[in-house]
């Protein structure tokens, strides 16, 4: 049964119950009133006026009956009017719900730009409409992100696959000789593919809350020293000074390997964008109940339009970037995924003195002794 009909029947039931109560109670109330009137009209000596059977008595009885009929008729008329008003009110209540139903059906069919049209209302239906619009907007953003992700993933996978196919075909067709360098090209591109697949898996697990974490007390000073040691040779080869001042006695409860991976992603990004003769500085400090680790470089910085998007999957601030370096285009997205899996957050900003500053914040644990 439709809601409109249910509401109309509910209003009708209330109206009829009210009319019935009036119809049942009216004869008794009127009879009691006229009995009291007859008693008050009695004369001294116990004689009641008007006398039973007299013309006056018959007139009073007729008036009493007419009043009963009139009240019952008015009650029934009021019930009928209440029923019609209930039907109109039910229609008015159901109309915005029908609009919301149509909008929900459109969203279910994939029209994610459809909205309820109830956001301007200031009652409960307006609140429901605004909640629906927020949900539809989130679905629309998620759908756009999914489509963009699929397009980017196809684009990123297409390049190494094309190189592998072209190289293997050239060797098999005799265009290239059977030399190790062509096999090395195929191997390198296969590793790029494997890296992309593994990075996608890591992000998917992290965003789904299923990234396995082996938490343990991790001293930030030891973590930064280990990451700096891992990247010392790469920094020296690129002519970039890598500085890691002594960190404070901060400690977090985290997966040491995953944090090393996240900080490695920030350092790799900083070294790739810092010219020879530049510097990469890694520092840490307490920020309220969290520890903030910053990786600052002296590169060209980041365009303001790109800042909000750098941690998105496959986002390319540098349009000239390619895959010859073995990167998957997912490094910063992995950084954010790992940090958020540790209940932290990541961000980026341009430095006033030039260059960019990437940072992550992690909840503090007990200070290292």
pLDDT for the residue numbered 225? 92
pLDDT for the residue numbered 39? 63
Output the CA–CA distances (angstroms, integers) from residue 331 to 261, 286, 341, in the order listed: 9, 25, 15
How would you list the strands of the sheet with 356-363, edge to edge?
241-243, 279-287, 290-297, 356-363, 345-350
- Classified as helix, coil or strand, 211 is coil
Let me know if 209 is exposed, middle or buried by CB neighbors in 10 A (0-12, 13-18, 19+).
exposed
pLDDT digits (tens), the chain, 369 positions: 565 566 666 766 776 677 677 666 666 766 666 666 556 555 444 445 555 555 556 666 676 677 777 777 777 777 777 777 777 777 777 778 778 888 888 888 888 888 888 888 887 778 888 898 888 888 887 787 777 767 767 767 777 888 888 888 888 888 888 888 888 888 888 888 888 788 788 877 877 778 888 999 999 999 999 999 999 999 999 999 999 998 888 999 999 999 999 999 899 989 989 999 999 999 999 998 999 999 999 988 888 888 888 887 776 655 434 444 445 567 888 899 899 999 999 999 998 888 899 999 999 875 444
Which ranges of 53-123 would DSSP assign to H, the alpha helix? Answer: 55-108
Let me know if 316 is exposed, middle or buried by CB neighbors in 10 A (0-12, 13-18, 19+).
middle
Tokens 């009995």 belong to 35
Write the Ramachandran bin of 274: left for phi over 0, alpha for psi from -120 to 50, otherwise beta.
beta
Q: Residues 275, 237, 261, CA angle at the centre, nearest 5°?
A: 85
Q: Cα separation of 20 and 43, whole Å? A: 38
CB 94 within 8 A of CB 8: no
Question: How long a stretch of residues is the chain?
Answer: 369
For 47, which DSSP code?
B
Tokens 């990234």 belong to 211
pTM confidence score: 0.59
Q: What is the CATH number of domain 215-363?
A: 3.30.565.10
Please give the class, per CATH, of domain 125-207: mainly alpha
Q: Which residues contact 181 (CB under 8 A, 6 or more apart)?
A: none
Cross-strand bridge partners of residue 281: 243, 296
pLDDT for the residue numbered 298? 92
Q: Which two tokens stand for residue 192?
A: 């790029």
Q: Which of 298, 296, 287, 275 is nearest to 348 (CA)?
A: 296
Q: Cα separation of 15 and 74, whole Å? A: 12
Q: Cα separation of 92 and 49, whole Å? A: 57
Domain definitions of the chain by residue range? 3-111, 125-207, 215-363
Q: Which two tokens stand for residue 324?
A: 């010859």
Q: Cα separation of 22 and 208, whole Å? A: 63
């Amino acid at each position: 049964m439709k809601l409109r009909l249910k509401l109309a029947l509910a209003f009708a039931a209330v109206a009829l119950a009210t009319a019935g109560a009036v119809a049942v109670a009216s004869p008794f109330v009127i009879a009691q009133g006229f009995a009291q009137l007859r008693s008050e009209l009695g004369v001294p000596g116990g004689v009641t006026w008007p006398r039973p059977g007299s013309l006056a008595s018959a007139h009073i009885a007729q008036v009493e009956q007419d009043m009963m009929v009139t009240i019952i008729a008015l009650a029934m008329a009021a019930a009928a009017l209440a029923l019609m008003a209930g039907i109109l009110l039910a229609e008015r209540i159901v109309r915005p719900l029908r609009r919301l139903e149509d909008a929900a059906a459109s969203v279910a069919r994939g029209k994610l730009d459809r909205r309820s049209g109830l956001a301007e209302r200031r009652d409960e239906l307006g609140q429901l409409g605004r909640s629906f619009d927020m949900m539809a907007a989130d679905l629309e953003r998620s759908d756009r992100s999914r489509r963009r992700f699929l397009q980017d993933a196809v684009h990123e996978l297409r390049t190494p696959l094309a190189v592998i196919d072209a190289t293997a075909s050239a060797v098999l067709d005799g265009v290239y000789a059977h030399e190790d360098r062509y096999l090395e090209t195929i191997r390198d591109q296969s590793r790029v593919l494997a890296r992309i697949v593994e990075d996608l898996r890591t992000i998917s697990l992290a965003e789904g809350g299923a990234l396995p974490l082996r938490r343990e007390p991790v001293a930030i000073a030891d973590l930064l020293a280990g990451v700096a040691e891992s990247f010392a040779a790469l920094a020296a080869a690129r002519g970039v000074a890598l500085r890691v001042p002594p960190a404070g006695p901060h400690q977090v409860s985290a997966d040491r390997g995953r944090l090393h991976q996240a900080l490695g992603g920030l350092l790799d990004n900083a070294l790739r964008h810092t010219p020879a003769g530049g510097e990469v500085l890694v520092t840490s400090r307490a920020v309220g109940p969290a520890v903030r680790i910053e990786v600052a470089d002296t590169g060209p910085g980041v365009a303001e339009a790109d800042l909000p998007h750098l941690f998105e999957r496959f986002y390319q601030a540098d349009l000239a970037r390619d895959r010859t370096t073995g990167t998957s285009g997912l490094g910063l997205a992995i950084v954010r995924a790992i940090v958020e899996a540790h209940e932290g957050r990541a961000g980026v900003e341009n430095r006033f003195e030039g260059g960019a500053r990437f940072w992550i914040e992690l909840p503090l644990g007990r200070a290292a002794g």
